[in-house]
Amino acid sequence: MSTPGGAAIRAAAARAVAAVAVHGRRLEDAVAAATQGGVPRPAVQSLSFGTVRWHFELAACLSILLDRPGSKQDPEVRALMLVGLFQLQHGATPEHAAVSETVEAMRALGRPRAAGLVNAVLRRFQRERQAVVAAAHASRAARHAHPEWMLDAFARDWPADWESIAAAGNAEPPMWLRVNARRLAREDYRARLAASGLAAEPCPFAPQALRLAEPVAVDTLPGFADGEVSVQDAAAQLAPFFLAAGPGMRVLDACAAPGGKACHVAELEPDLAELVAVDIDAARATRIESNLARLRLSAHVVVGDAGQPATWWDGRPFERILLDVPCSGTGVIRRHPDIKLLRRADDVARFAVQQAALLRTCWGLLAPGGRLVYASCSVLAAENAGVVGGFMAEEPAAVEVTESARLLLPGALPWRPAGPGCALRSGAADADGFYYACLEKKT
């Protein structure tokens, strides 16, 4: 069987981009669907992720290059033109190949009549790139490649840093590893990587974290299948240190999938009385079990709604609860660029209502003297300090624990006190944007 060529790859990328932009599908799902016919997934993923990452800039350029409104274009033809513009503006493919393969992809899409239009648009962009990009960048959304409402939110909550947050959202994400502390020391695993020709740097603030110089496929990582290492961003690796679970404690990870934080908790404390990992999605709960098995760890995995504990809770309180809430994901846009297209401004308020309800419910599962860690990968105050502060105003037994944050604040990680809790902007220390707040229940 012949290997699919560049035209087939670009056609598949266009299908994935159109599925996100027009039909609201998650980009990872769209790429999986577009590559079912044997088209190389890494190549399609690179093109589609890059095109979605820069969509607001590329779409503004395309509207200048087209004589007719974009709404009248066939969605896949339009998406293919965006893929072509991405290659010319941000890609490494030689321009002549990018143009010719993208034009040829029209036939792979079954729309050969549009090949002339695609060719004309891309060649005009080659000739007039500087003027077209300058005109497109008159729009702030195009200039920063984010929707206006999101830029407004960044500027409101991070007035000195909003441009850095937007730039981080447009960057290729690094690959962070978490070394299994039960199995070996970080420096020992770093030596194993070096022996395999992989360079990595230790994280100055997360003691099990290594950042690879270049991302690689996980199956090429030494010891991955044997549970020596996992892939997890450095900011997410701080959750167990805020949680501070000790021997004999019952611990709940309330929204646990895919299980990275629950596994990290188990790696650091082998003598827990019980670790319960709950997730509402059965398929995602299976991923928790797979990660536990690979790492040779144990936990009680429950498919259930953390907001409806009557369906799964046995009535015994937990000494520690990690509540990593569903959120807008604005701190992890560099990993999930489709967030720019799929989220809407009013989603933030809906998430905040859901988050507040989860916090109130999980608080009822916490033992007196116990600790609840509220975490999110959002950089928006409405989902973070707004939720936690509102809860504390209504719950006199909730007291913020600041010791954990103080231990981290003087270090290499540029936390910003967020009153309550502390926030990390996207890209700071090359980590994802994150928020943590530690609450203890007064006895």
Q: Are residues 276 and 420 in the same domain?
A: yes
Backbone φ and ψ of 214, nearest 5°: -140, 135
Residues 388, 421: contact at Cβ < 8 Å?
yes
Could you give the angle at which helices 6-21 and 75-90 cross, rounded to 10 degrees? 110
Residue 162, domain member (yes or no): no
pLDDT of residue 67: 74
Q: Are residues 206 and 240 in the same domain?
A: no
pLDDT of residue 415: 72
Q: Are residues 116 and 183 in the same domain?
A: no
Residue 130, domain member (yes or no): yes
Residue 358, domain member (yes or no): yes
Q: Are residues 129 and 39 in the same domain?
A: yes
Residue 410, domain member (yes or no): yes
Q: Are residues 27 and 128 in the same domain?
A: yes
Residues 239, 260: contact at Cβ < 8 Å?
no
Backbone φ and ψ of 152, nearest 5°: -60, -45
Q: Are residues 355 and 217 in the same domain?
A: no
Q: Supply 215's token pair.
A: 């991302």
Residue 152, domain member (yes or no): no
Kindly state the helix (H) or strand (E) to which residue 163 belongs, with its residue range: helix 162-169
pLDDT of residue 92: 87
- Under DSSP, the state recorded for 37 is T
The domain of 277 spans 236-441
Residue 400, domain member (yes or no): yes
CATH of the domain at 412: 3.40.50.150
Residue 388, domain member (yes or no): yes
Averaged pLDDT in 10-residue chunks for the chain of 443 residues: 72 98 97 94 97 99 82 88 98 92 93 93 98 98 99 98 98 98 97 98 94 97 98 96 96 97 98 98 96 98 97 98 98 99 98 99 99 98 98 97 59 71 93 96 93
Q: Are residues 137 and 189 in the same domain?
A: no
**Single pTM value for the model:** 0.94
C-alpha angle 164-168-170 in degrees, rounded to nearest 5: 120
Between CA 439 and CA 403 the distance in angstroms is 11
Q: Are residues 11 and 73 in the same domain?
A: yes
Amino acid at 346: D
Q: Where are the beta strands (DSSP E) in 71-205?
A: 176-179, 200-202
Q: Is 438 an active-site residue?
A: no
Among the listed residues 255, 362, 377, 438, the single catalytic one is 377
Residue 165, domain member (yes or no): no
- If one counts the domains in the chain, the total is 3
Q: Are residues 253 and 375 in the same domain?
A: yes
Residues 208, 237: contact at Cβ < 8 Å?
yes
Q: Are residues 342 and 377 in the same domain?
A: yes
DSSP letters along 240-291, please? Answer: HHHH---TT-EEEETT-TT-HHHHHHHHH-TT-SEEEEEES-HHHHHHHHHH
Q: Are residues 279 and 367 in the same domain?
A: yes
Between CA 352 and CA 363 the distance in angstroms is 16
Collapsed DSSP state (helix, strand, coil) of residue 407: helix
Q: Are residues 216 and 296 in the same domain?
A: no
pLDDT of residue 73: 81
Kindly state the helix (H) or strand (E) to which residue 301 belongs, with its residue range: strand 300-303
Between CA 55 and CA 335 the distance in angstroms is 15
CATH of the domain at 199: 3.30.70.1170
